[in-house]
Each structure stands twice: as C-alpha cells, then as structure tokens.
Amino acid sequence: MGFEMVQVWHPLVLSLKTISVVALLLVFIGIPLSYYLSNEQLKYKWLIETFVTLPLIFPPIAIGFLLLLLLGKYGWIGSYLNTLGIRFIFEFKGLVIAGFVAALPLMVKPLQSAIELFPKAIKEAAYMSGKSRFHTFVFIILPCIKKSLFAALLIAEARALGEVGITLMLGGNIVGKTDTISLAIYNAVFDGEYALALFLCAILIVVSLAVFIALHFFQKEEQLL
C-alpha cells in the first residue's frame, strides 16, 4: 500500500473521539440554544444569531485565529484558565472546540427553524393543561421534530469531521497527537504520500455517502407520513 495502517488508524480514531464529544456538546448546548433562539420576543436575537452563524460566512482560519487569541496561553480567557491548569491549544480539547464551533450553526439553524414552525396551538394547549415550558419542549416538541433533530446533528457532525482551518490553529497539526483525518490528508499530500491521502479521502467519501443516505432516508420517511 505504500503506507502503514497506523497512519490511518490514529487520525481516524482521533477524529471519531473528537466528533463523539462534539455530538454531546451539540445535544446539551445546541438544542437548548436552538430553543432559546426560537423565541420571537428574544432581545438582541439578531446579535446572538450573528455570532452563532459566523463560522458559516467567516473564513475558518480567521475563526481559528480569533479563538487562539481568546483561548491561548496569553489570551483573554486562556490566561485565566491556564492558571487552573486548563489548556486548549495543541490539546484534544482544542480539537473539540474547533469541531463544535464549526458544527454549531449547522445544528442550531435547522433545528431553530423546525421549532419555530411547530404549531403554536399545540404548545398553547400544553401550557393551558399545566405543562411547563421545559416539559412541553422535551416531551412534546422534540419528539415531533426528532427527524429534523437527527438530520441537523448528522450534517453538523459531518462538518466537524471535515474541519481543517480552525483545527489547524487550535490543534497545531501535531502528528500523532492532534492530526485529525482531514489534517492527515493535508500532511500526506504535503509529504507526497498520495496513496495515503487517497485512502483517507476514500474513508471520508464513505462517511459522506452514509450521511447522504441517512438524510435521504429521513426525507423519505417524512414524505410517507
């Protein structure tokens, strides 16, 4: 093959670990944030939405640089965290932050739209029957929009898996430590190891096709309902 399998397994396992943690963050932060932004009466809603969607329109490498200024050893927040022994730069935590930031808008915006389109009559009926907003959201709204939730999570995870720019700035692309599968492709091409780069690309193609098939399945299910 022209390369060792450890060159494949390490970045692949690292990427899977990263997107697994990112998935948890998207569930526990992305879902509540989507519900929060679905409130039409929310003050400064446009400003919060701007920060959430910024990674979609701002160059990833620039986002990574801003996060580096924020979370670095001498950064505005990083300097305080560093005294507590909490470091993000050149660490696994930095990869997670990079993936989460890149994936968040693709999780929040579709889910926010699904929540906003949920029939108000059903929500009002739940409130009138004594159900709290939390109970209504978790046990009534979420089960009804679960296909939108899973679809948004899949797309967001795919984005996190393919993230390069922010990951490069925060993770540092340290071979054997912070080189995710996308960065491993970059390294392989840079080093002239085209067989390895092609093999890693094939893995990402398979993952992309799996995401596409899953999304097609969700759409087909909705059409049959």
Q: Which domains does the chain have, with CATH numbers?
A: 6-224 (1.10.3720.10)
31-40 residue pLDDT tens:
999 999 998 8
Q: Is the pLDDT of residue 2 over 80?
A: no
Band of the pLDDT at 216, cuts 50, 70, 90?
A: confident
The pLDDT score that the predictor gives to residue 3 is: 74
Band of the pLDDT at 224, cuts 50, 70, 90?
A: very low
Nearest 10 degrees: Cα torsion 82, 84, 85, 87: -40
141-159 residue pLDDT tens:
999 999 889 999 999 999 9
